[in-house]
Chains A and B, each alone.
Chain A
Amino acid sequence: MSAEQYRFVSADRRVREDRRFVVGKGRFVADIDLPNTKHVALVTCPYAAARIISIDKRAALAMPGVHYVLDGCELAAATLPLMTGLDTPNVPRRPLAVDAARYSGEWVAAVVADTRALAEDAIEKIDIRYEPLPFVLDAEQAIKPGAVLVHAAHGSNVLLDRTFVWGQVENDFAASPRHLSLQVKWARSSTVPIETFGVLASWDPWRDMLDVYASIQMPKYPDQIAMALRLPASAVRVHYDVDVGGSYGVKRGIKHSVLVAYLARRLGFPVRLVEDRLENMRGGDAHGPERLFDIDVAFDDSGLIRSMKMRALENIGAYAGRSPFQLGKPIGAIVGPYKIKSVQYRAIATVTNKTPQDAVRGFGQAPTNLAIERMMDDVANALGLDPLEVRRRNMIQHEEFPYTIPSGTTYDSGDYHRVVDKVVAPTVYNEMKAERDRLRAEGQLAGIGIAACLEPSGGNASFEPLLNSKNATTTWMDSCRIDVDLTAAITATMHTSSAGQGHETLVATVIAEVIGRDPDGIRVVRANSLNSLPSNSPVGSRMAIMLGGAAFHAARKLKAKLTAIGAHDLGIPPERAIYEQGKVYDRAAPDRRRTWEELVAIAHRNFHRLPEGFEPGLAVAHVYQVPTGGTLPTADGRVQMYPCFSFEFHLLLLSIDPDLGTPRILRYRLGHDCGTVINPKIVRGMTMGGIAHGIGAALYEEFAYNEDGQLITQTFMDYLLPSSLEVPAVEIIHHETPSPHTVLGQKGSGESGYLGAPAAIANAVNDAIRPLGISINTLPLNVAKLGDLIAETHARMGN
């Protein structure tokens, strides 16, 4: 099937979810009112590290409207520690600090009161005695022998130190005529949704059931709550029909949820925690990667990269859930879109006394792309070659797919050169270079930045068993159920929450395409976790592939069932039955047919007319395993990771005022290939959003700490999110190279734009300052830092 043949897939159709949001009728967690709900506020540790000596709750408990003060000891006695990804039993993680707090902002006690305001009043009356302890903030300091230990029982700060060697790295380095090294730093930022994390829980003692409503984007969320509370997951009902106000990875909220669930059970009324922005920024544990890359690369005189050594040092923060896996996911695209033959990769995760991280859009791919693309530009400049030409020479050719990279992942398909051509040709690249030169002649600093990056999609998270040999998970799935009811109306069910990705529209479109019925007539609802089929949540850019795949297969089952019912009722052999848009007719005698309504009636009412062995009704379901999934890593650490690889190519022109250091993006073109596009409005919107995130990470956003371990960017006054004035117009150039692995050829695009924009901007800035003989490899590239660097250089040059 190709785009021209589709009726609904790829058509420019509206996103049905939009309707409720434009009138303010979204159902966000803070909108849900349960009678008698009480509210939580958190007492946070003011020190980067401290022993908790005592907690005096008496004054707080005496205040009217205050119901409870929960401390870490009580919670730890009643619950199990939260799930971690690595095998690190001596680095436990709990919602409230127990004997010691390990970062400024860590939650130490929770107050429950009639209103949030009263809870905040009560917080101030809780008297906690601390003994401040030494602390460490810097990753390089933390891994040195003799460093202050964040978790004494673990014996060091290193949670992960694993080196992989794929291919003949040392031989390739020895055999290459040229080498260079560079260091790249990705500063701590995050996706910071406008809605903070919130959770509301209610315990029904008569049904032994916990109801949970949350702004959640997390695989295995009900299970993790259940395990912590020592309940079966059949006692935890998570409602997936809560609208999530943006997540982009970070809304994991497991500590919030266990805390609130415990309180709801303990206290007997519904309990709600909606983070305020201060709690969110400091103690929500939703920071993103903070990564230092050291790269050595071996290449030849034509710019062909033969081998690469990369050390990635990640500053995890004080505790770890899944976040260290953000060092593992990029292994599935460790060479980017290039034919690099051998790779050595050392991944180190260290704890420090900073706020913990959660999964951020791309799960480590965006920082890794920054490192690779800075490296490519440095290689080009070392040789005096055009950076675009060096990309072309190294990129995998269209006919070379499927292409297996040294770390064991096979890239499914791609036409990188074609996408690049579309973005730069015929005259665009030259025009931009001419404009750059004109600006330089006027005394401006100006540069062109390019980045060629992959978006691994499909969410086959085999980095889990790769980095934790005790974890043998190879199941990554999603599901769809379809019911056609007595009135012949179609209802499809999906089994996870969404944060604006248009999943309801996706499901309706795919089902409609398969069964040939109008998507607007297909209702899509969400299950709760007790009437759910397996789902792994919208992570890893997987839903177009996985939910789309599940919906497709379920629809196929429905179509097959209808066809069989029709054939049987018409008394014809199955091969003569033709299914068309809901009706079934005899190929040999087309006037003999059964309509959609007739088939439905037979299924529901006329058991005597059903084929042998058929179940009554028209209910079908499909649980879909990720394509190419199901294998464990080899002994030398090779494994297939994500199945599908989208491609993006960024080209931008940027100027910098040489006196002020202020950067301005003047022109931005992005080539984007995510295979078959199921809904163009959704894909374009997500790509533009990803670019904005990337601009933020490159130029504005940083979780900055002072030397006392205090987060100094705690509010939106200091943590700077791009507004409409900071995001330029972007021309998106589209291309489609279908994936052979997916039902419609679709690949993921949930991370598009974000994966390459920081790299492209960093390359443009470096191109702009290269005539001064300087480079800058640390994000964010902020105005004053750039200005100072340029001024220092001018001073040295005697200007």
Chain B
Amino acid sequence: MKAAPFEYARVANVDEACAMLASDESARVIAGGQTLVPMMVMRLARPTRLIDINRIAELSYIRSDGDAISIGATTRQCRVERDALIAAKLPLLARAISFVGHAATRARGTIGGSLANADPAAELPLIAVTLDAILAYRAGGRTEKIAARDFYIGPMTTNLPSDAVLTSVQFPKWLGKVGVSFCEVNARRSDFAFVAAAAQVELSADGRCNRIVIGIGAATDFPIRLTSAEEQLKDSTLDAVTVKGAVLEALADIAPLSDLHASAEYRRRVAVNLATRAVADARSHAIGKNRHAN
């Protein structure tokens, strides 16, 4: 399994990369390569030019940006995994990141790479959609922004223009009594999930739900939000019956994937189950955190 021949270019800034992408239809950027290289050695991807963006310093960062956390696109997944700011301010991302591949792939894989790859079963797109992240990309000298919810349009398919390079992702910070939960089902612990659920909740002083977001990944072509359930559950006590009903309704019309690993029925049923569990766990997490303040 050896890749087809290509030219290799290393660029010093993003605009150089964009210019190369614009002038060469079969050029691609490479960051971590953990997904691109397997595709290339199996000759499923055959770029004639590979643009290495790993050394563009301004693409690798984690910082607080007002009421959001900004992460540069080539920031390594392992860096996010270890980062104190992420742990404190984006607990859902911190929770989910350890499920991404293996330690050895997180050592090289990047946040932007996973977001742009858009694998239906990937954790980071699910978190981005769940938290209403904003992705920024550069193309033709301009910076554009797009909401995660609008970014994903099909399996392995995004709205990223062919001459664009993803530059950053911004996650809004939540204040107050916040709890998170992430769970997934797979055959082996580190495989791509059959179904994944992410939930984040903010409780009021009397334990009611002020705000809740629920996302389901791996069940459909791209991650989805259970928007109707979120609206129903706002201001509720998040009791089990109400949650289950809201989740069932929100997932009633999805068209789940069916493949070697799991049937559509399995994905639909388990999506309901995991979403329900995720809400309960997020709620417990919010209550517990307040009691053991850290």
Contacts and interface: CB of A to CB of B under 8 A. Distances in A.
B190 A723 contact: yes
Task: State the main secondary structure of chain A at its contact with B.
Answer: loop
B63 to A, nearest CB: 34
Interface in A778-799: 782-784, 787-788, 791
B265 interface: yes
B273 A720 contact: no
A715 B1 CA distance: 11
Contacts of B192: 717
A277 B1 contact: yes
A722 B246 CA distance: 37
A784 B1 contact: no
Contacts of A718: 260
Contacts of A723: 188-190
B260 A788 contact: no
Given A784-B266, A788-B266, A725 B188 contact: yes
Interface string B252-264: 0000000011110
A662 interface: yes
A726 B189 contact: yes
Nearest to B191: A720
Contacts of B270: 659-660, 787
Interface in B150-207: 185-192, 194
Contacts of A278: 1, 42
Interface residues of A, number: 31
A277 B187 CA distance: 21
Contact of A782 (B5, B187, B189): B187
Interface string A91-133: 0000000000000000000000000110011001000000000
Q: Which of A278, A660, A791 is the most central at the interface, judged by chain B CB atoms within 10 Å of its CB?
A: A660
B292 interface: no
A784 B260 CA distance: 10
Interface in B183-236: 185-192, 194
Interface in B8-58: 38, 42-43
Contacts, number: 68
B291 interface: no
A722 B2 contact: no
Given A659-B273, A700-B188, A783 B262 contact: yes
A713 interface: yes
A784 B186 CA distance: 9
B189 A700 contact: no
A661 B1 CA distance: 36
Contacts of A180: none
Interface string A24-50: 000000000000000000000000000
A276 B5 contact: no
A660 B273 contact: yes
Contacts of B189: 723, 725-726
A148 to B, nearest CB: 24
A121 B188 contact: no
A662 B265 CA distance: 16
Contacts of A783: 185-187, 194, 261-262
A697 to B, nearest CB: 14
- Interface residues of B, dominant DSSP: loop
B145 interface: no
Contacts of A121: 4-5
Contacts of A784: 194, 261-263, 266
B1 A276 contact: yes
B184 to A, nearest CB: 10
A346 B151 CA distance: 59
Nearest to A723: B188
Interface string A647-661: 000000000000111
B269 interface: yes
Contacts of A720: 187-188, 191
A703 to B, nearest CB: 11
Contact of A704 (B38, B260, B273): B260
B125 to A, nearest CB: 18
Contacts of B2: 116-117, 120
A769 to B, nearest CB: 16
B227 to A, nearest CB: 24
A712 interface: yes
B274 to A, nearest CB: 8
Contacts of B194: 783-784
B4 to A, nearest CB: 7
A672 B185 CA distance: 34
A514 B1 CA distance: 50
Among B3, B42, B274, the one with the most A-chain Cβ atoms within 10 Å of its Cβ is B42
Q: Which of B3, B43, B274 has the most CB of A within 10 A?
A: B43
B263 A788 contact: yes
Contacts of B273: 659-660
B188 A722 contact: yes
Nearest to A278: B1
Contacts of A717: 38, 192
Nearest to A658: B273
B270 to A, nearest CB: 6
Contacts of B265: 788, 791
B41 to A, nearest CB: 9
Interface in A674-725: 699-700, 704, 712-713, 715, 717-718, 720, 722-723, 725
Interface in A218-277: 276-277
Contacts of B266: 661, 784, 787-788, 791
A700 B187 contact: yes
Nearest to A786: B266
Contacts of A715: 42
Nearest to A115: B2
Given A277-B1, A660-B270, A726 B261 contact: no
Contacts of A722: 188
A783 B184 CA distance: 13
A441 to B, nearest CB: 20
A720 B191 CA distance: 9
A29 B171 CA distance: 51
B188 A660 contact: no
A720 B190 CA distance: 11
B187 A791 contact: no
Given A704-B260, A788-B265, A662 B185 contact: yes
Nearest to B1: A276
A719 to B, nearest CB: 10
Contacts of B188: 700, 720, 722-723, 725-726
Nearest to A662: B185
Interface in B116-164: none
A725 to B, nearest CB: 4
Contacts of B38: 717
A277 B260 CA distance: 20
A661 B273 CA distance: 12
A662 B188 CA distance: 10
Contacts of B262: 783-784, 787
A14 B43 CA distance: 44
A555 B72 CA distance: 69
A720 B186 CA distance: 11
Contacts of A120: 1-2, 43
A619 to B, nearest CB: 48
A124 B3 CA distance: 12
A557 to B, nearest CB: 51
A725 B191 CA distance: 12
Contacts of A788: 263, 265-266
Nearest to B266: A784
Nearest to A661: B266
A277 B191 CA distance: 19
Given A278-B1, A723-B189, A787-B269, 4 more contacts: A659-B269, A783-B194, A787-B266, A787-B270
6 smallest A-B Cβ distances: which pairs? A784-B262, A117-B2, A784-B266, A276-B1, A725-B189, A659-B273
Interface of B: 1-5, 38, 42-43, 185-192, 194, 260-263, 265-266, 269-270, 273-274
7 contacts: A117-B2, A120-B1, A121-B5, A660-B185, A784-B194, A788-B265, A791-B266
